[in-house]
């Protein structure tokens, strides 16, 4: 089955991100194709490289990065949601006159069209969070 995943909540304020990660990992390990994981609303906070949880806590951003590296997973942050929350890559930093970036490796910023494309291309779009 070809799946797309949408994550609408940040990594530490709601169970949605953990659930989305575990679902995606299980799907990939089960032989399913995950076309894209799209992070929307507060979900874009899963893509900041500046997240530094305590040593005894799970590092959700690192988990997503490792999963993306292992399975060549497409992790997309909604550009509008990312801008509102201060998450920028090189292109957004340049366009908006910012002097630094904070996007985690393996994540990229793009528009809502990426979510629409994923929904069209896939058998199921699974949404986590409100």
Q: Which residues are marked as active site? A: 78
CA contacts within 13 A on the Cβ side of 5: 28
Number of CB atoms found within 10 A of residue 111's CB: 12
Please tell me the distance from the alpha carbon of residue 72 to that of residue 2, in angstroms, as a whole number. 15
What's CA 9's distance to the chain center, in Å? 10
């Amino acid at each position: 089955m070809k799946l797309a995943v949408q994550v609408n909540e940040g990594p530490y304020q709601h169970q949605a991100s953990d659930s989305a990660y575990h679902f995606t990992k299980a799907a990939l390990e089960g032989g399913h194709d995950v076309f894209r994981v799209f992070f929307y609303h507060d979900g874009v906070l899963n893509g900041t490289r500046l997240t530094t949880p305590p040593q005894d806590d799970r590092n959700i951003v690192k988990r997503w990065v490792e999963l993306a590296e292992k399975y060549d997973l497409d992790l997309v942050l909604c550009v509008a949601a990312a801008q509102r929350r201060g998450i920028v890559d090189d292109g957004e930093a340049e366009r908006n006159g910012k002097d630094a970036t904070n996007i985690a490796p393996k994540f990229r910023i793009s528009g809502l069209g990426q979510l629409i494309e994923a929904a069209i291309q896939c058998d199921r779009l699974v949404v986590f969070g409100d």
